[in-house]
Amino acid sequence: MDMDMDMDIPLPEELELLEANSHFYEESYIDSPPSDPSPPQSPPLKNLEIDGSKRPRNSDAIESQPEENKRTKRIDIEEEEEEEEDWLRYAPPEETNVEVAVEKDEEVYLSRFMSAINGDCIPVTAPSGGERVYAKISGAQRDEGLEKLNCKERSKGLLPEPVNVLLQRVEQQAFAKALEASSEHQNDITIPETTMVHEQLWVEKYAPSSFTELLSDEQTNREVLLWLKQWDSCVFGSEIRSTSDEVLSALRRLSSTQHKKSFDSDFSRKNRGHRWINGNNNHIDNVDHGTNNLKGMQEFWNKNSRLTGPPEQKILLLCGSPGLGKTTLAHVAAKHCGYRVVEVNASDDRSTSTIEAKILDVVQMNSVMADARPKCLVIDEIDGALGDGKGAVEVILKMVSAERKHDFGKENNAKKKGSKTASLTRPVICICNDLYAPALRPLRQIAKVHIFVQPTVSRVVSRLKYICNREGMKTSSIALTALAEFTECDIRSCLNTLQFLHKKNETLNVMDISSQVVGRKDVSKSAFDIWREIFHKRTKRDRKSNTSSGSSYGEFDFLHALISNRGDYDVILDGIHENILQLRYHDPVMHKTVKCLNSLGISDVMQQYVMRTQQMSLQVYQPSVAITLHRIVAQIQKPTLEWPKSFQRYRTMLMEKTDILRAWHQKIPPYMSRHLSTKSCIEDLISPLLHILSPPNFRPVALHLLSETEKNNLTQLVNVMVSYSITYKKMKSDSLSSNMGHEAVSDASALSFEPPIGEFIAYKDYRSDPHVLPLAMKQVLLHEVEKQKILQVSTGKSAQRTDGCCNGDQGVVGKGASVAKSAKTIEVPPWKQSKNPLQMSGRHVVVLISLKGLENQAAEVLWILKLQ
Amino acid sequence: MLWVDKYRPKTLAQVVVHEDIAQNLTKLVTEQDCPHLLFYGPSGSGKKTLIMALLRQIFGPSAEKVKVENRNWKIDAGSRTIDLELTTLASTNHVELSPSDVGLQDRYIVQEIIKEMAKNRPIDTKGKKGFKVLVLNEVDKLSREAQHSLRRTMEKYSASCRLILCCNSSSKVTEAIRSRCLNIRINAPSAEQIVKVLEFIGKKEGLQIPSGFAARIAEKSNRNLRRAILSFETCRVQQYPFTSNQAIPPMDWEEYISEIATDIMKEQSPKRLFQVRGKVYELLINCIPPEIVLKRLLHELLKKLDAELKHEVCHWAAYYEHRMRLGQKAIFHIEAFVAKFMSIYKAFLIATFG
């Protein structure tokens, strides 16, 4: 057991180290001697700690390792270490610069840069301050080296103060704390002035300072860390090495200890190993389990380890709603990997020029001061200010694209030379709330995007509870759970609320949360969420957890706030309309449906009125329509929703068709078009016209084979087509969904009406049956129509010369003649034709002569003659 | 050229259907002057034909010589300039236009363009007939603002300009405008008149029309002369010589609505309503105005309905049409009507058959 613990002790830390691409094996050598003296720990004791009974009980506990140096701090092992952690928290300033000084005059064992160490080395990160150094591994004289190292540590090495001094201080601190706590207990009401002065915001005070304390989703944390690690080769000059067997075995052991620890350690409040928490303490089982897990992981690592340059995507984009810990994660992860964080947020000037300078500064320069860690740029709230935020996005995009080009030419060797082209050589983390903000569109494509999900309520609650205990605030888990749910796991808002209540010396109870005490977040949800809320009836339990009263009043409030926060009533109502008929609600006589549609109608009338009179204040009544609908149709089961497209589709299609119609209308000569409005075109004209244009009794034969009446009919038809400026046009056969589609066309192209008037009656699921002409007939018609048009133009010219006739009449006259003529396939030039009236299909002959008369009246008379 | 256009009367003397009105109009313009006119009546009753014949009566054959002009107008409206595109038909003496084509900005058409046209007084070769006619189509679609600006124009430039307004329903034309015009109601031709016209055309075309055939067409045409003549020609193309029980091809959109009505009668459920919605959208997409869809739907439903429900259904149709005109999204209201009908009909079925 003892030995086992010895090996296990550093392991959770190992995980991080692993991520730091280290060799577990060597590492453990360095590691174990300091932790050797640590006594085995009994789980029950730890359990006590979870309850937060009290901290400084074991202040007499034996030794304390110089834990605060870069060796691991195993808080869950020893109580006194716990204390130290406390101490770390209470006095961070003293702690932070502990390990700044690294010896460089002697043989270098520890250095901030890999290059400073001869031989093998591993990266080590101190959990407390996030300091990161590389430690030398000396294979041959390990023991001596370690001895030396330890000596140094003891004497002056990494600690600016000797251990015993530190120890003393710890005791003092603990004592003071105990005193304070007891005095607080005695007189709760009179909080000493001094504490008031020094009080920080809890949000800052309890901000996670190390990777293990992060509250956000484990998966995301790891991926962010992994991404940062991929920069190592570029930034620190080390290489990502694939996991060796030793590491694997270490990991296996780690995971098994994780099981135990996460189960019973007070670290369960932190996020480590939550996916392994299954309450199973059985060692062997877990080992197997762990191995399986790790194999996948190893493959993953192997795949990634091939990369020597910076990661493929040079920008990391974190997004998520406020208070989930994005900024914290960015800071902690960067610190963990040994970067100095440079943050640019909305409060800074973010115009293109300044941001560019800043980024260049970050990317290319190193500080000459003590804190010489490479920098990592965190651009917070990048979606915030549109105008300025855009500047940042632009600069980043420019740099990335520059890098791309560079890479393209020179493969991966652009590490240090890339400075001229201002390429990105340091990690950049962007943080936003709304991933789909328009400004971020270009960035989204090149960045690695991580979407934050809400941490589970239980995790948030346990953390809150821990903090409350630390602050001596009495709470119940029920109240904390309610608070967490109310704020949607926004831990920042939870903490602020708690601190506020604490200040007022109030306890948190469930009633407070729904009352005015706690500010509700004013978030606008997506339209989909709103529809879901409207159509989805929450079960009693759901509702209770959401609003403490659980009454319909609360529900009303909830929905009202939801809808009015979104505000886009038009879209919301469209969505309701689109989806409402797909719901399954019991409605035998359709009363509910009628009610719903009536409500929608009311909202439409209201909307129209508001827009017309511009009385926007009336918009406040719109949400109530949606709530009415909710009361009528909401169901327990979740609805499947669709974005309302049909109305938009209707609008655009209508526009298209109207345009077609209008264009056609304009082509019809005015003496006809003026009698037709577009409306009457559709209502009265198109259906008969289609019938007329495709007579059933046409024989597709050569023209001279037609009988006299057939010729007449053909002439008539061509005449109609020309006067309504309709012709046939070649179309791809697959696009023939219109009336022409009924035709069984074998060849690739078919002829269809131009303009496509057939489409106006091509309703879905409707088969109109205008007789469709055979293709040969259409070709004949097309030919005739084209010919006719040419003739018409020339007769039009001659008519202009004659300069007196009514355009329309004359056009018709000419047409009749020439069609008849062309039907006989006699090619006569039009001018000749009009001067030389050949005998033709009876009635037109008379009219042709009138062209010569060239007088209005004559033409008129003749025209009338012709009619009678 | 279709028979509709071919046999359209060109002069007032030729007019067959509204003979009395034609005579009155002839008398009206014998002095070469006339008041402002407002023609209103259902479509296919011959408003436009009468107007054209009237213009010809006033100005002679030159009124028929028109040219199409597609002009862009730049209008200075305070701080911004508005670009409008408007198609006009103009002869030397008259201009035809549809101000409602430009939608919401029709006000500017009336205020600027019509005013400008009205101001320019044409000078005749004889220096005598100094007035111009503006024919405005679809006045009922003009926005309220446009109608208000129109009334001042009508008074101010009455010396040089006559307006002939043409619309389907006078109720949408403001009182002020109606009182400034001589209102001429063109009612839909009766079935007998339609039969007369059809027989006239048949005679001209040299066709044999079996007895009762023309009457059937007239009946199906819904008292719309244009449609009657078009159907007549369709029948001629489809089958000649005619037989008295020959099928008269229906209007496709009416056929489609009747399909919808059948659907509704068959099943009353939200699911069916959803299908109906799709079909109604189809109609609307193909430029059938929503009012007509609703009206026709009611018509089709009434055909299939028990007498005792008819009153109630008509009431609700009117109710929803009113709402539709108040609102913006016609589909909401048509659908609400269908739902209401389904609800009524289903309740009725349950009450009757248990």
Could you read off the pLDDT of A621-665 as tens digits, one per residue? 888 888 888 888 888 887 888 888 888 889 899 999 888 888 888
Among A76-80, A426-430, A533-537, B62-66, where is mean pLDDT lowest? A76-80
Q: Is the pLDDT of residue A613 over 60?
A: yes
Question: Tokens at residue A12, please?
Answer: 């959770």
Question: Tokens at residue A25, please?
Answer: 């094996």
Q: Is the peptide bond before A755 cis (omega within 30 degrees of 0)?
A: yes
Question: Tokens at residue A16, please?
Answer: 């991080």
- A597 contact partners, CB below 8 Å, separation of at least 6: B332, B335, B336, B339, B340
pLDDT at position A485 is 75
A671 to B286: CB separation less than 8 angstroms, yes or no: no
Closest CA to A230 of A150, A296, A310, A152: A310
B270 to A763: CB separation less than 8 angstroms, yes or no: no
| DSSP string of A266-281, one letter each residue | GGGGS-TTGGG-SS--
Alpha-carbon span B59 to B90, nearest angstrom: 13
Q: Is the pLDDT of residue B314 over 80?
A: yes
Match 């309503």 to its residue by tokens: B273
Q: How confident is the model at residue A137 (pLDDT cuts 50, 70, 90)?
A: low
B256 to A766: CB separation less than 8 angstroms, yes or no: yes
Chain center to CA of A783:
57
Alpha-carbon span A778 to A775, nearest angstrom: 5
A593 to B327: CB separation less than 8 angstroms, yes or no: no
Question: Tokens at residue A56, please?
Answer: 């400084």
Whether chain A has a CB inside 8 Å of the CB on B258: the answer is no
Summary mean pLDDT of chain A: 65
Alpha-carbon span A461 to A646, nearest angstrom: 45
Out of B68, B96, B287, the one facing A654 most closely (by C-beta) is B287
Q: Is the pLDDT of residue B289 over 60?
A: yes
pLDDT at position A339 is 81
Residues in chain B: 354
| B167 Cα to chain A: minimum distance (Å) | 11
Instruction: Identify the closest residue of chain A to B342 by CA–CA distance.
Output: A590
Alpha-carbon span A455 to A325, nearest angstrom: 10
Which has more pLDDT, A337 or A54?
Answer: A337
A650 to B347: CB separation less than 8 angstroms, yes or no: no
Alpha-carbon span A10 to B273, nearest angstrom: 68
Whether chain A has a CB inside 8 Å of the CB on B289: the answer is yes
Q: Is the pLDDT of residue B342 over 90?
A: yes
Beta-bridge mates of residue A720: none
Mutate to test the interface with A, among B286, B293, B294 (most CBs of A within 10 A): B286
Q: Is the peptide bond before A623 cis (omega within 30 degrees of 0)?
A: no
Q: How confident is the model at residue A310 (pLDDT cuts 50, 70, 90)?
A: low
pLDDT at position B159 is 77
Chain B residues whose CB is inside 8 A of the A629 CB are none
Q: How confident is the model at residue B80 (pLDDT cuts 50, 70, 90)?
A: confident
Q: How many CB atoms lie within 10 A of CB A732?
A: 10
Closest CA to B47 of B28, B64, B22, B66: B22
Closest CA to A425 of A314, A306, A313, A305: A314
Q: Is the pLDDT of residue A532 over 80?
A: yes
DSSP state of A551: S
Q: Report, as an integer, the average pLDDT of B29-53.
A: 87
Q: How many CB atoms lie within 10 A of CB A332?
A: 25
Q: How confident is the model at residue A515 (pLDDT cuts 50, 70, 90)?
A: low
B65 to A670: CB separation less than 8 angstroms, yes or no: no
Summarize pLDDT for A156-195 with one digit per residue, the tens: 456 667 778 888 888 888 888 887 776 655 544 444 444 4
Helix (H, G, I), strand (E, B) or coil at A159: coil
> Across the A/B interface, how many CB contacts are shorter than 8 Å?
214
**Is the separation of the CB atoms in A413 and A425 below 8 Å?**
no
Phi, psi of B163 (to 5 degrees): -105, 135
Question: B251-351 in CATH: which number?
Answer: 1.20.272.10
Out of A587, A609, A684, the one facing B270 most closely (by C-beta) is A587
Question: Tokens at residue B2, please?
Answer: 């279709």
Q: How confident is the model at residue A62 (pLDDT cuts 50, 70, 90)?
A: very low
Which has more pLDDT, A586 or A27?
Answer: A586
Whether chain A has a CB inside 8 Å of the CB on B323: the answer is yes
A766 to B268: CB separation less than 8 angstroms, yes or no: no
Closest CA to A235 of A314, A294, A147: A314
ipTM of the complex in this document: 0.89
pLDDT at position A552 is 56
Helix (H, G, I), strand (E, B) or coil at A46: helix
Match 């037609």 to its residue by tokens: A706
The listed range with the strongest mean pLDDT (A95-109, A540-554, B154-168) is B154-168
Do the domains B1-183 and B251-351 sit in the same CATH topology, yes or no? Answer: no
pLDDT at position B280 is 92
Among A257-271, A427-441, A541-555, where is mean pLDDT lowest? A257-271
> Beta strand pairing status for A315-319 and A375-379?
unpaired
B289 to A679: CB separation less than 8 angstroms, yes or no: yes
pLDDT at position A599 is 92
Q: How confident is the model at residue A327 (pLDDT cuts 50, 70, 90)?
A: confident
A601 to B320: CB separation less than 8 angstroms, yes or no: yes
Phi, psi of B322 (to 5 degrees): -60, -45
Question: Tokens at residue B54, please?
Answer: 């009237």
Ordered by start, the domain boundaries in chain B are: 1-183, 189-236, 251-351
Chain B residues whose CB is inside 8 A of the A861 CB are none
A605 to B138: CB separation less than 8 angstroms, yes or no: no
Out of B5, B43, B282, the one facing A764 most closely (by C-beta) is B282
Alpha-carbon span A373 to A358, nearest angstrom: 17
**Is the separation of the CB atoms in B32 and B67 below 8 Å?**
no
| A719 Cα to chain B: minimum distance (Å) | 6
| A826 Cα to chain B: minimum distance (Å) | 23
A674 to B89: CB separation less than 8 angstroms, yes or no: yes
A688 to B227: CB separation less than 8 angstroms, yes or no: yes
Task: Indicate the residue type of A252.
Answer: R
Out of A591, A598, A653, the one facing B336 most closely (by C-beta) is A598
Q: Report, as an integer, the average pLDDT of B30-40.
A: 84
Closest CA to B248 of B218, B270, B274, B225: B218
Q: Is the pLDDT of residue B149 over 80?
A: yes
Out of B44, B278, B327, the one facing A605 most closely (by C-beta) is B327
Q: How confident is the model at residue B252 (pLDDT cuts 50, 70, 90)?
A: confident
A683 to B339: CB separation less than 8 angstroms, yes or no: no
Helix (H, G, I), strand (E, B) or coil at A427: coil
Alpha-carbon span B239 to A76, nearest angstrom: 99
Q: How many CB atoms lie within 10 A of CB B45?
A: 23
CATH class entry, domain B1-183 = alpha beta
Summarize pLDDT for B169-196 with one digit per residue, the tens: 888 899 999 998 999 999 999 999 999 9
Summarize pLDDT for A806-836 with one digit per residue, the tens: 344 433 434 444 444 433 333 434 444 444 4
pLDDT at position A856 is 46
DSSP state of A412: T
Beta-bridge mates of residue A375: A340
Helix (H, G, I), strand (E, B) or coil at A317: strand
| First-residue to last-residue Cα distance in chain B | 58
Question: Tokens at residue A525, please?
Answer: 């949800």
pLDDT at position B38 is 93
| A438 Cα to chain B: minimum distance (Å) | 29
**Is the separation of the CB atoms in A320 and A326 below 8 Å?**
yes
Alpha-carbon span A396 to A390, nearest angstrom: 10
Chain B residues whose CB is inside 8 A of the A683 CB are 43, 227, 251, 253, 288, 292
Using a pLDDT cut of 90, give the percent of chain B over it.
33
Out of B52, B64, B287, the one facing A682 most closely (by C-beta) is B287
C-alpha angle A463-A466-A468 in degrees, rounded to nearest 5: 110
Q: Report, as an integer, the average pLDDT of A114-135.
A: 65
A691 to B5: CB separation less than 8 angstroms, yes or no: no
Match 């009431």 to its residue by tokens: B315
Q: Is the peptide bond before B241 cis (omega within 30 degrees of 0)?
A: yes
Which has more pLDDT, A207 or B145?
Answer: B145
| B177 Cα to chain A: minimum distance (Å) | 22
Task: Indicate the residue type of B142.
Answer: L
Which B-chain residues 48-87 have CB contacts (< 8 A) with chain A?
A: 48-49, 52, 61, 64-68, 70, 87
pLDDT at position B315 is 95
Which A-chain residues 561-620 have CB contacts (< 8 A) with chain B?
A: 577, 580-583, 587-591, 593-594, 597-598, 600-601, 604-605, 607-609, 611
Instruction: Identify the closest residue of chain A to B138 by CA–CA distance.
Output: A677
DSSP state of A683: I
DSSP state of B44: T
A670 to B346: CB separation less than 8 angstroms, yes or no: no
Whether chain B has a CB inside 8 Å of the CB on A655: the answer is no
**Is the separation of the CB atoms in A68 and A260 below 8 Å?**
no
Among B54-68, B75-89, B225-239, where is mean pLDDT lowest? B75-89
Q: How confident is the model at residue A129 (pLDDT cuts 50, 70, 90)?
A: low
Q: Is the pLDDT of residue A531 over 80?
A: yes
Chain B residues whose CB is inside 8 A of the A580 CB are 270
pLDDT at position A756 is 83
Q: How confident is the model at residue A147 (pLDDT cuts 50, 70, 90)?
A: very low
Using a pLDDT cut of 70, give the percent of chain B over it.
97
